[in-house]
Structure 1
């Protein structure tokens, strides 16, 4: 088993729709491991879809293939106090008069054409505010694999495909595996991926789609001993795929 400790440095502002409050769309300071699996090109998804309204995630198919290959990634946790910025966006038509249908500008030519074809417009917000992770934020994560993995120097993240640099901090080959009780873990984990034989005693919950994440965990079970004072739960794999699939 190979274990990589990776550091991600954001080169551009990164946006995920972690939470939506009216016209305020917020990015939480964490990157889920499902998003990272696609960002590292370990699984691929089509660049475009035929019908936005009928688009459905295929996590079960994609991530089950990683389980078969013995590859697992943890969520990425900020290494320092995260820096967040707020931006306003406005996609309204640049005309004196406009009318709104369900969250769509009626005066837009594209809407008129769609209306003639009796197609319902997609429900995209026209104006509001975004909270993003600012450039320069650093996040840490682990990647486990049965075989050597080609780690790209740069990846793309978020809804805007923002650029981020990846650095291998440390690498371990076949680290010792041992059972430990009540181990404190200060980085994010996906609770669906923790082995059933492990016991979670305490945790803080962060509710984000598609799967809530946990942090500040007290965990008993088998761990990889990576370095002095540094360990990683052993046997983690993408689980609960039935629950997060639509």
Structure 2
């Protein structure tokens, strides 16, 4: 991600379409944000890069038929040398913001871990080290529970079809998407505060991030309760969103 790739930046003054999306979990959603011993915890926010793949994979982002070797484990979010990357959405003029939790709860599930040499508790089941009549090698996954609801926004330079259902997380959980177009969209310039989470790597150079709370999660930490300066949209409910965002804005070379 340290390399620079060429992409096309949409001028902020160009007429854009903004969709508000309500996401409802119909399965538990799990991704290992934090690993604390045997506990694997899922962050309450949904990362915009994961949402982007879930919403627009195959339609705009090519899906590799097969990955082998190092390419199977290498992140390709902003890698123009790989077929599957988010730069395709830059060219299509589409951007997905991170998702803000509205109603959320957790469910903790226990799972059996594999017997492998590098695992910390490699005592054989029923062996001398096993003092109880259940496996010592186990883990707990703290998952976002069914019924949790989120809000996010999708910006596009033209009308697009947004899927009603997507699959998200390591378990490919089923998520319902309800999208509505926002009609009364006002563009302003100056300092503003947004309660909606943002990906700092996707902010254009024209936006300055002044104050924020950091949300530590892979692959890139997000920010919340941010104060910024620059061009922004003000929505009818007074939500403010930065103008000109695109994937990898701070790491790519802008081509006119």
Q: Same fold (TM over 0.5)?
A: yes
Deviation at 1:102, TM superposition (A): 2.3
Deviation at 1:30, TM superposition (A): 1.0
Deviation at 1:51, TM superposition (A): 4.0
Counterpart residue number, 2:110: 88
- State which of 61, 75, 92 in structure 2 corresponds to 1:43: 61
Unaligned runs of 5+ in 1: 93-98, 108-125
Map 1:61-100; keep pairs closer than 5 Å.
Answer: 61=80, 62-80=85-103, 82-92=104-114, 100=116
Deviation at 1:176, TM superposition (A): 3.1
C-alpha separation in 1, matches of 2:231 and 2:250: 23
- State which of 185, 195, 205 in structure 2 corresponds to 1:196: 205
Map 1:170-185; keep pairs closer than 5 Å.
Answer: 170-172=180-182, 175-181=185-191, 183-185=192-194
1:230/1:187 Cα in 2 relative to 1: closer, same or farther (>3 Å)? closer
TM-score (norm 2): 0.76
Counterpart residue number, 2:75: 57
TM-score (norm 1): 0.79
Counterpart residue number, 2:133: none
Residues 115-157 of structure 1, C-alpha deviation per residue, up to 9 Å, x if partnerless? xxxxxxxxxxx62110100000001100001111111111000
Please give the root-mean-square deviation of Cα atoms over the aligned residues, in Å: 2.5
Q: Does 1:144 align with 2:160?
A: no
C-alpha separation in 2, matches of 1:25 and 1:211: 18
Residues 188-226 of structure 1, C-alpha deviation per residue, up to 9 Å, x if partnerless? 100111121112221100111110000011112111232
- State which of 93, 98, 101 in structure 1 corresponds to 2:117: 101
Q: Is the 8 A contact 2:94 2:156 kept in 1?
A: yes
Unaligned runs of 5+ in 2: 1-15, 125-136
